[in-house]
Amino acid sequence: MKIVILGAGVTGSSVAGALASEENDIVVIDQKPHLLSALKGRLDIATIEGNAAHPSVLEQAGVGTADMVLAVTNNDETNMLACQVINTLYTKPKTIARVRALDFLNHPELFAPGGIDIVISPEQVVTEAIHNLIKYPGALHVSEFAEGLVRLVSIRVVPTGFLTGKRIQAVKEKLADSMIRVAAIFRNGKAIAVNGEALIATGDEVFFVCPRDKVRKTLVDLHKLEAPVKTIMLAGGGHVGKRLAIALENNYQVKVIEQDINRAKEISNDLRKTLILHGDCTDQSLLQEEMVEEVDLFCAITNNDGVNLISAGLAKKLGAKKAICLINNTSYLQLVDGTDIDLAIQPKLETLGSILRHVRKGDVVGVSSVCGGSAEAIEAIAHRSVAAKSVVGQRVDQINLPDGVILGALIRDKEVIPVHHDTVFAEGDHVVMFALEKKLIKAIEGYFQPI
């Protein structure tokens, strides 16, 4: 597949890295030569320096023969204009634009057919990811499939926890529910075999797939459900901070710390129950004055990784029960390990899943990129096919998926059904699978081709 990426920033470079490893023909356009040079140095891709919205630059990139264009520059207007130009001048490529500003997103008529095919909002994706972690305290990762009917949840194994030293078979017996499945175990960033004899160790990240209404009980059964969150302090009132406050303020006590006085005044007009504080989130006296020690959750979500690390670590030292932070630069993740910070969220990984669902060749309707992008959970729709392999009419134990692909859930007629070895796939089934390695995705795509 030929893919043109507009923008070589955090999102553009992470998408280029993910897609270049899958035998795609990638071209990246950006006005900053040092960003393009860095990408060119580590990836087998083509780069073009120039304005991504200019027809001449797009022509140079061969947009007319591209299958897809991802407009992910840091400027909404550039992304929207580029897609409009492409859809006006060319017929083939599907256009996907990153749009951040709520002013644009609140007017869906701006994204009518013929202008932009698909709009993605990384800030909204990140907001939903954090909101899910708040709803299920104790989880390390939560993502949704099948229109929210199914959740993929991961937890960290602690030395004194129920899971430590247990075999998978013992965990299955504890849960005693065929609709709750252990999808993967990652140890030091690498997947280990998931079978009845697999032994779970301290530090492992264990992924479960289960129906929405069973997530809380599963966390309770595994002794991982923490006390409910009531008070939240957000460090940063930018795109993510504002969206998150809007999503939370009706059900939680929320405070937002914003250093830019104009931004603080602006977001205060849209937030009715949230307390807006003008100040520096790394200021110890301010955090103490606002009684950070009584806060259940401190979220450092500014656009500066360093500020996020410092403020989250400081808040935890001062007594906040839990602290999470956003990290865009992967190398900064190593610094989190040496702090009291409970969890680091990578916006580029959250965004990557929303983009990959449109890149996958099968009838894929959901993707969650996990474990640094090395593994994926995928939701695909089963179709009967004469020209390609299909799971329809086949039993689970007849499907020849490679080792490393784990069946997580089966949704039929908007209902999660138990999965056994003799379960037969039907037309229109939504199947949630976990691919422990990206090289296994091609096998999944082969079984779930659209009609």
Domain regions of the chain by residue span:
2-120, 126-222, 231-345, 350-446
For 136-153, b/e burial (b = at least 16 CB within 10 A) is: bbbbbbbbbbbeebbbbb
What are the backbone dihedrals phi and psi of residue 233, each rounded to the nearest 5 degrees, phi first?
Answer: -115, 125
Confidence of residue 449 (pLDDT cuts 50, 70, 90): confident
Q: Is 55 buried (19+), middle (13-18) or exposed (0-12) by CB count in 10 A?
A: middle
Residues 91-105 pLDDT 10s = 889 999 999 888 888
Are residues 68 and 4 in contact, defined by beta-carbon separation less than 8 angstroms?
yes
pTM score: 0.88
Sign of CA dihedral 175, 181, 187, 189: negative
Which fold, 2-120?
Rossmann fold (3.40.50)
Report pLDDT for 387: 65
For 288-313, b/e burial (b = at least 16 CB within 10 A) is: eebebeebbbbbbbbebbebbbbbbb
CA–CA gap between residue 357 and residue 359 (Å, rounded):
6
Within this chain, domains 2-120 and 350-446 share the same CATH topology = no
Confidence of residue 348 (pLDDT cuts 50, 70, 90): confident
Residues 16-73 pLDDT 10s = 988 887 778 999 999 999 999 999 999 999 999 999 999 999 999 999 999 999 999 9
Tokens of 134: 């708040």
For 274-286, b/e burial (b = at least 16 CB within 10 A) is: bebbbbebbeeee
Are residues 375 and 191 in contact, defined by beta-carbon separation less than 8 angstroms?
yes
Are residues 388 and 371 in contact, defined by beta-carbon separation less than 8 angstroms?
no
Q: Identity (one letter) of the amino acid at 9?
A: G
Which fold, 350-446?
Alpha-Beta Plaits (3.30.70)
CATH class of 126-222: alpha beta
Query: CA-CA-CA-CA torsion for 149, 119, 134, 339, nearest 10 degrees?
Result: 130
Angle among Cα 435, 201, 215 to the nearest 5 degrees reads: 60
Nearest of 432, 424, 441 to residue 362 by alpha carbon: 441
Per DSSP, the residues of 83-107 read: HHHHHHH-SS-EEEEE---HHHHT-
Q: How many Cα neighbours within 13 Å face the side chain of 286?
A: 17
Superfamily holding 231-345 = NAD(P)-binding Rossmann-like Domain (3.40.50.720)
Cα 451–chain centre separation:
28
Residues 251-268, mean pLDDT to the nearest whole number: 96
Are residues 401 and 447 in contact, defined by beta-carbon separation less than 8 angstroms?
yes
CA–CA gap between residue 378 and residue 432 (Å, rounded):
6
